[in-house]
Amino acid sequence: MPWPIARAALNFILERGRPPLTIAFSGGEPLLAKELLIRCVEFVERSAPRNDAVHFVLTTNGTLLTPELLAFLATRNLSLQLSFDGVEGAQGLRGAGTFTVLDGLLDRIRRDHPLFFRERLRVHATVLRSTIRLLARSARYFLRKEVPEVRFFPATGLTGAGGAEEYALLRRETERVAEASLHHYERTGQVPVLFLRRPEGPRAPERADGLICGAGWGKGLCVDAGGLAWSCPLFAGSLQSLSPLAAEASRLLQLGDVRSAALAERIASLDRRSMSLRLLRGRGEKYSFLGPCRECEFLDECTLCPAAVSHSPGNEDPDRVPDFACAFARATGEARRFFQTRIGGAQTRPETSEVLTSLRSRLANFLPP
């Protein structure tokens, strides 16, 4: 991304965004452009009216995090989201030898920047069909490493149907995660695994007009390296190959060039245009192999992202929820209910709620270098 495009995106966010603002650096791997990242952070620090007016989020695979760069990040109002899928059998699918690198990285951050580790480190772990059996082992590993927060995501874009057998396996593994987390809670009073925490409110609120996703009303802004803007990175056509269903959403959610004087107007009219897109409406009308979403006891807590529906290979139905995504949401909901019942509904780490809200569904203000 050339600096003039990055600067235009930052200026638009600072001038038009509604505080509290979050600027997220993602990709790809954003540390391949670390000089640009540093320049962006320093530019915002000089331009923002208050030092705490903008929160940064860096999502990285961690392999390029040098001690010097860590020292820079640790002194900023920045959260580090580390893509780390768990024990070696799970993480090894990303790249041979990366588990050893990231295992050492966690130790180094905790040793050299303990406050940063405790308050601003998050781990994002992707769960594949092939790694379901490693879910509890991975959770126990992160608990032993005293990672303050770990969020497990079901992979999108998977082919095939898992059905009842896959659901049963997810239920078994998430129950084991809950049991391990109970022991951790008794020792520390902390609940690092995000899907076990008590929701503070509906996780996927539906507006009066029926829109279920912030992409439909411009909650976030994604700017690609060429300056094109979308309301959600998961529908940015320049960043990925899109299915026909996702491509339809991408065309509607594209906002034009970030340097255009019409950008603010395009964002303001986005919700009216989004009403024509079934993918972004009618949460209760969606369904999976487990039945209609409106009949699910976890509907108000469900974090289902419309992108998961549209990124499902071969799916042409905007209401058809992928089996894996639904099974994961149901299994984690059951584990959360079991866990919260056992601890009496206690809530820990309230200081993270503002950051979690801003990052929900990955729709915070988004700036990939």
Place of tokens 């961690």: 62
Q: Greater confidence, 49 or 21?
A: 21
SS3 content of the chain, % helix, strand, coil (to 5): 50, 15, 35
Q: For residue range 331-357, list pLDDT tens digits in order.
A: 999 999 999 999 986 554 433 333 333
Contact 137, 307 (CB under 8 A): no
- CA–CA dist 23, 82 (Å, integer): 16
Domain count, the chain: 1
| The predicted structure's pLDDT at residue 20 | 87
**Residue 82 included in any domain:** yes
In a domain, 212, yes or no: no
pLDDT of residue 209: 78
CB-side exposure of 149: number of CA atoms within 13 Å?
Answer: 23
Domain that holds residue 82: 3-149+349-362
Q: Is 78 inside any structural domain?
A: yes
pLDDT for the residue numbered 363: 33
In a domain, 191, yes or no: no
For residue 356, being part of any structural domain is answered with: yes
Is residue 30 predicted with pLDDT exceeding 90?
yes
Could you give the CA distance from residue 354 to residue 336 in angstroms, rounded to a whole number?
Answer: 21
Across the range 143-167, mean pLDDT stands at 89
Look at 206 and 120; give whichever has higher pLDDT.
Answer: 120
Residue percentage of the chain with pLDDT more than 70: 89
| Residues listed for the chain | 369
Minimum mean pLDDT range among 87-91, 96-100, 113-117, 201-205? 201-205
Q: What is the pTM assigned to this prediction?
A: 0.89
C-alpha distance from residue 131 to each of 49, 149, 152, 157, 167 (Å): 46, 20, 12, 15, 14
Average pLDDT over residues 32-49: 93
Q: Which residue has the higher pLDDT, 168 or 360?
A: 168
Task: Tell me, yes or no, whether 186 lies in a domain.
Answer: no
Task: Give the domain CATH number at 137.
Answer: 3.20.20.70
C-alpha–C-alpha distance, residues 369 and 365, integer Å: 13
Q: Residue 49 falls within a domain, yes or no? A: yes
| DSSP string over 279-341 | GGB-GGG-EETTEEGGG-TTGGG----HHHHHTSTT---TTB--HHHHHHHHHHHHHHHHHHH
Q: How far apart are the first and last CA of the chain?
A: 5
Give me the phi and psi of 288, to 5 degrees please. -140, -170
Average pLDDT rounded to a whole number, residues 166-172: 96
- CA 339 – CA 343 distance, rounded (Å): 6
* 238-257 average pLDDT score: 93
Q: Is residue 217 part of a domain?
A: no
